[in-house]
């Protein structure tokens, strides 16, 4: 066999491997695990969306290559309409490109902009794709610390001027995975000013755009003044409508940024099955996922109330479906995750997997397989109370 490309050695070690091994061992022993690990909606895609797919799939027009420039124009028009309805920002389809999920868009954006040695500004902790793909493209991630003191928003003024001047991309992700943090529009305004000053392209990953609680609707960076000059945003149906497996989303924003991303993409992928993209566009304008949101809301309150009864002092997250929990005294994120798994049969993700600064935390996802109405959350809290010694 030929030797694999050296760039693959740049992929950081798979930190979840040890947890995956313990999970498999516990399952093999027949242990009842309560899984707060995976960030994948446990509820099915709403039935009207599935019915619509069936109708779209019967249309032979959807069966061929999509030869459009940036993705099925019907989908892009529907997505543009949704964007206007949701944010009051008018966009045209030449400011958009279809994505096969936001992961794909984030990855290819790195390849479209990063040459060897180029810098991308990336939060730590963060969803892993921007950092890994910057490394694979030969670039240098400059990590912006997200700390509780800064409400898990990067302090842009702390970035050294020479780094900001040399950087090309600024990655943001609000609502944030893994911290559950949100960004006020004022922060997006600051980020846009910063990007203009240093000639950067911002990419805000908005995968959790529609997962908000108590009436909170996360803003888009494109609502910030002048954002269209320097920013793009990635959107996805994955979490909005429990459609992670369908692989559909879009990027929207600065025309040059979108065209550059599409130049890379059009030489790699052939877009998405049009029955899926048209169904997705229809869903954006017509479907509701209120039942799933109500379930996350219930679990969110039960989990935070339960953890606080054990000694934590946590606020309810306002958006997304992650709870970011500081580990008790004497633990790292990995040792605490192991203890919860081995003693309580409760699976959480060690924060170290999202960056060095995640090490003081574990992440719990509100997407709990097998939970109907918070009963598995209550059971997890009971088991932790009875089996794990906690000191704060």
Point out which residues bind ligand PLP (CB under 6 A).
Answer: 39, 101-103, 127, 173, 177, 205, 207, 236, 238, 244, 249
Are 309 and 353 contacting, i.e. CB atoms less than 8 angstroms apart?
no
| Residue of 256, 193, 381 lying closest to 185 (CA atoms) | 193
- Give min distance, CB of 387 to ligand PLP, in A: 29
Are 121 and 200 contacting, i.e. CB atoms less than 8 angstroms apart?
yes
Peptide bond connecting 178 to the previous residue in cis, omega within 30 degrees of 0: yes
H/E stretch holding 324 reads: strand 322-326
- Give min distance, CB of 193 to ligand PLP, in A: 24
How many other CB atoms are there within 10 angstroms of residue 190's CB atom?
17
Q: Which is nearer to ligand PLP, 207 or 261 (CB)?
A: 207
3-class secondary-structure state, position 23: helix
Tokens of 149: 């003191």
Q: Which is nearer to ligand PLP, 99 or 275 (CB)?
A: 99
- Give min distance, CB of 38 to ligand PLP, in A: 9
Are 72 and 278 contacting, i.e. CB atoms less than 8 angstroms apart?
yes
CB crowding 22-53: b at 16 or more within 10 Å, else e: bbeebeeeeeebbbbbebebbeebbeebeebb
Q: How many CA atoms lie within 13 A of 22 on its CB side?
A: 23
Q: Which is nearer to ligand PLP, 322 or 331 (CB)?
A: 322
Q: Which is nearer to ligand PLP, 136 or 390 (CB)?
A: 136
- Give min distance, CB of 39 to ligand PLP, in A: 5
Q: Which is nearer to ligand PLP, 235 or 278 (CB)?
A: 235
Q: Which is nearer to ligand PLP, 253 or 345 (CB)?
A: 253
Q: Which is nearer to ligand PLP, 103 or 168 (CB)?
A: 103
Q: Which is nearer to ligand PLP, 241 or 331 (CB)?
A: 241
Tokens of 240: 């909005």
Tokens of 227: 């954002």
Q: Give me the residues paired with residue 249 across strands.
A: 99, 236
- Give min distance, CB of 342 to ligand PLP, in A: 26
- Give min distance, CB of 249 to ligand PLP, in A: 5
Nearby residues of 5 by Cβ (< 8 Å), 6 or more positions away:
none
| Cα dist from 349 to 49, 90, 174, 269, whole Å | 31, 39, 20, 32
| Cα dist from 97 to 24, 92, 247, whole Å | 39, 11, 14
- Give min distance, CB of 276 to ligand PLP, in A: 13
Residue 316 sits at φ, ψ, to 5 deg, of -65, 130
Q: Which is nearer to ligand PLP, 219 or 249 (CB)?
A: 249
- Give min distance, CB of 260 to ligand PLP, in A: 20
- Give min distance, CB of 96 to ligand PLP, in A: 15
Q: Which is nearer to ligand PLP, 39 or 218 (CB)?
A: 39
- Give min distance, CB of 129 to ligand PLP, in A: 7
Tokens of 33: 């695990």
Round to whole Å and give the CA distance between 70 and 68. Answer: 6
At residue 17's C-alpha, the angle toward residues 13 and 23, to 5°, is 165
């Amino acid at each position: 066999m030929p030797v694999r490309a050296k760039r693959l050695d740049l992929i950081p070690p798979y930190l979840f491997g040890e947890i995956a091994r313990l999970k498999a061992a516990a399952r093999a022993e027949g242990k009842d695990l309560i899984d707060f690990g995976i960030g994948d909606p446990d509820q099915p895609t709403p039935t009207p969306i599935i019915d619509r797919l069936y109708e779209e799939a019967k249309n032979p027009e959807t069966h061929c290559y999509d030869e459009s420039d940036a993705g099925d124009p019907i989908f892009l028009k529907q997505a543009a309409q949704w964007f206007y309805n949701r944010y009051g920002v008018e966009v045209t389809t030449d400011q958009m490109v279809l994505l096969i999920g936001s992961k794909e868009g984030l990855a290819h954006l790195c390849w479209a902009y990063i040459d060897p040695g180029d810098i991308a500004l990336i939060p730590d902790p963060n969803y892993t794709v921007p950092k890994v793909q910057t490394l694979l493209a030969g670039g240098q991630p400059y990590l912006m610390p997200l700390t509780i003191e800064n409400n898990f928003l990067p302090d842009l003024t702390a970035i050294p001027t020479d780094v900001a001047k040399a950087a090309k991309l600024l990655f943001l992700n609000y609502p944030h995975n893994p911290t559950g943090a949100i960004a006020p529009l004022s922060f997006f305004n600051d980020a846009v000013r910063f990007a203009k000053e240093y000639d950067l392209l911002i990419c805000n990953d908005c995968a959790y755009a529609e997962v908000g609680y108590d009436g909170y609707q996360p803003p888009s960076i494109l609502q910030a003044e002048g954002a269209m000059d320097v920013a793009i945003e990635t959107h996805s149906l994955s979490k909005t409508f429990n459609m992670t497996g369908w692989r559909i989303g879009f990027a929207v924003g600065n025309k040059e940024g979108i065209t550059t991303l599409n130049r890379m993409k059009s030489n790699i992928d052939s877009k998405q099955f049009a029955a899926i993209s048209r169904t997705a566009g229809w869903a954006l304008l017509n479907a509701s996922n209120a039942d799933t949101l109500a379930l996350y809301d219930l679990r969110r309150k039960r989990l935070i109330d339960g953890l606080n009864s054990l000694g934590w002092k946590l606020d309810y997250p306002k958006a997304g479906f992650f709870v970011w929990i500081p580990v008790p005294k004497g633990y790292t994120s990995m040792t605490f995750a192991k203890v919860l798994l081995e003693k309580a049969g409760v699976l959480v993700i060690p924060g170290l997997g999202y960056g060095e600064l995640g090490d003081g935390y574990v992440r719990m996802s509100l997407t709990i397989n097998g939970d109907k109405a918070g009963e598995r959350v209550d059971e997890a809290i009971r088991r932790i109370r009875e089996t794990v010694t906690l000191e704060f």
